[in-house]
Amino acid sequence: MRNIIVEDLKQTPLKNQRIEIVERKGLGHPDYICDAVMDQISIRLSKIYLEKAGAILHHNVDKSLLVAGKTEPRFGGGIVKQPMLFVFGDRATSKINGEEINVSEIAVNVAKEWFRKNMRFVDPEKHVKYQVELKPGSVGLVDIFKRKGKVLGANDTSAAVGYAPMTTTEKVVRKTEQFLNSTEFKQRFPESGEDIKVMGYRNNNHLHLTISMAFVDRYISSEEDYFDKKAKILEETKKFVKANTDFDDVDVQLNTLDVRGRGLDGIYLTVLGTSADSGDSGQVGRGNRVNGLISLNRPFCSEAAAGKNPVSHVGKIYNVLTYKIARDVYEQVPEVEEVYIWLLSKIGTPIDHPAIAAAQVIMKGNNHIDTVRREIKEVLDYELENIEKFCMELAQGKIPIC
């Protein structure tokens, strides 16, 4: 029997609260880059471990630092004076039945592949240096992977929380960044860099979006050209936001630090389309939560999910699973207005039997929690019973985490 608790949450649904603040760090943001690359390394290691050992072995590649480089932006195209430094850290199994696994080479190759696929102007051979600090795991944590059982024991005592549904504000913040970083948008506006951050603030039914976008200097011929192109991008963004929301009023602002008349000093210009080329470093865990957002009104787990192993580390598994369970409860139980799912592990205990699994729900109208309590428990029990399949989907990269 699992320890499952379902309770009625007496609070106003977020969509009906006056103030809401939501942030999304986009594709080229240094923190996003760290999360995305390190999780791809975990996915690649998981595949190799399965091929060579028949099981996913111990690894937690959830520590990294992208140290900003040094550039000299210029109208018409600047220069890279010092490359970025990507530091990979923590633990990974590097020997299988006597065979050495070149973890360092795998990590670097995955990072280079990610840059080639996602960053149009970053040459991973010239613009990034790599430092790999992935060491073998501790004896106790490695031993978890040698123990028998349908599912592994948790390798940490950790808690996670997820929620559903997303509010309109949350949806539009995420969709706006994805729109601005879409292939179609980049073809129309190549001067738009990948480093985009969207900050949303809702006051009742009025939405304010502040967007930061790194412009690419090779497509900007002058200060006047910058502000002309910025105005066109801002207009396209406003059209998109208004077409995808029904707020009474929408205010969108872009690169609000800009000041006319200051030349290169007064505009947001980069050489490579990311602030990591000279202005800002990145780190795993400082970016989006696993649903792609930083929602300040919501409770969220402080664990960095990216790079953690997908079969034992609850900092990743429960972090993502709580959102899936919350969505399932919301979709399968129509009497529910809003739901929060909490999972707490106990180190060494099988991950399908958390120390506690809890659902806090806000009911619609006059519906009573007692009429759906059993149904909600069944959703939680089903997802935990099938956690092995869920973990394999994580391992295969089928579930995005940033």
Residues 282/284/288/294 CA torsion (nearest 10 deg): -90
Range of weakest confidence among 142-151, 299-308, 322-331, 345-354: 142-151
Overall fold of domain 168-283: GMP Synthetase; Chain A, domain 3 (3.30.300)
What pLDDT is stored for residue 246 in this prediction?
92
Pick the CATH number of 30-144 from 3.40.50.1370, 3.30.300.10, 3.30.70.2390, 3.40.225.10: 3.30.300.10
**Is this prediction's pTM over 0.85?**
yes
CATH entry 3.30.300.280 includes domain 4-12+156-166+287-395: yes
Average pLDDT of the chain?
95
Tell me: pLDDT of 7 over 50. yes
Instruction: Spell out the residues 6+ positions from residue 254 whose beta carbon is closer than 8 angstroms to its own.
Output: 211, 212, 213, 230, 233, 234, 237
The pLDDT-based confidence of 302 (bands split at 50, 70, 90) is confident
Question: Is there a common fold for 4-12+156-166+287-395 and 168-283?
Answer: yes
Burial degree of 171 (CB within 10 A; 0-12, 13-18, 19+): middle
Report the distance separating Cα 263 and Cα 28, nearest Å: 24
Residue whose C-alpha is closest to residue 193's, from 118, 114, 83, 116: 118
Residues 190/399/40/322 CA torsion (nearest 10 deg): 120
Q: What percent of the chain has pLDDT over 90?
A: 92
What pLDDT is stored for residue 142 in this prediction?
58
What pLDDT is stored for residue 266 in this prediction?
97
What pLDDT is stored for residue 139 in this prediction?
44
* 380-395 average pLDDT score: 97
Structural domain spans, the chain:
4-12+156-166+287-395, 30-144, 168-283
* 306-320 average pLDDT score: 95
Could you report the per-residue pLDDT of 62-106, keeping only the tens digit for each?
999 999 999 999 999 999 999 999 999 999 999 998 899 999 999
* 161-171 average pLDDT score: 98
Could you report the per-residue pLDDT of 106-158, keeping only the tens digit for each?
999 999 999 999 999 999 999 999 999 999 865 445 555 666 567 889 988 99
Q: What percent of the chain has pLDDT over 70?
A: 97
Strand, coil or helix: what is 210? strand
Range of weakest confidence among 33-42, 85-94, 144-153, 309-318: 144-153
